Amino acid sequence: MAARVDHAVTSGTFSLDGETFDVDNNVWVVGDDAQCVVIDAPHSVQAILDVVGDREVTAIVLTHAHDDHVRVAPELAERTGAPLLLHPAEDVLWKLTHPGLAMPAPLSDGQEIPVAGITLRVLHTPGHSPGAVCLYAPALGCVFTGDTLFQGGPGATGRSHSDRPTIERSIKSRLLTLPPETVVHTGHGADTTISAEVF
């Protein structure tokens, strides 16, 4: 059974620096009929479980620790029995969202996460946040970019713990070097491709 990408959108809020915004977040589920990996855990456990169905969740990978991406991560881990994975440089943001909870298991650049006969390769792409990661799935011809790259360009860098030159460096060195036809599944909004986002 070939691996595929499933998807849900959840609605809720994002808060940082004392401001709160309404946001719609993408949840990506990569796997086959038997097992899957969940990418990000925003807003609603039930919306994510509806996509997972009766499959085994082998990991919950968090692209970064802004609260709109990790709000229900602990509950989703408890419900599925799957480990949470997050880059260690996200510890400051994780503690803002989940004070008192231990950091998830560490993601590292170059790490390969197996699922359903394929691998998700971790690309550390700091800038939107210090430990932001993208997940590249060569076998599927796609990359999951969280809030690092959107349709229309780089993710936001106007708030605490973000840095514009750093995100530009990450995108140019780690994403724009992928095959140009690679489909980009983003953390918010529509898909794009690498070739459409060259800047």
Positions that interact with Zn ion (CB under 5 A): 66, 147
The three-state DSSP-derived secondary structure of the chain is: CCCEEEEEEEEEEEEECCEEEEEEEEEEEEECCCEEEEECCCCCHHHHHHHHCCCEEEEEECCCCCHHHHCCHHHHHHHHCCCEEECHHHHHHHHHHCCCCCCCEECCCCCEEEECCEEEEEEECCCCCCCCEEEEEHHHCEEEEECCEECCEECCCCCCCCCHHHHHHHHHHHHCCCCCCCEEEECCCCCEECHHHCC
Nearest distance in Å: CB 62, Zn ion: 11
Nearest distance in Å: CB 155, Zn ion: 7
**Residue closer to Zn ion (CB basis): 90 or 147:** 147
Query: Which of 169, 143, 141, 142 shows the shortest CA–CA distance to 154?
Result: 169
Nearest distance in Å: CB 66, Zn ion: 4
What's 97's DSSP letter?
Answer: H
**Residue closer to Zn ion (CB basis): 81 or 165:** 165
Nearest distance in Å: CB 53, Zn ion: 27
Nearest distance in Å: CB 135, Zn ion: 15
**Residue closer to Zn ion (CB basis): 60 or 140:** 60
**Residue closer to Zn ion (CB basis): 40 or 197:** 40
**Residue closer to Zn ion (CB basis): 66 or 124:** 66
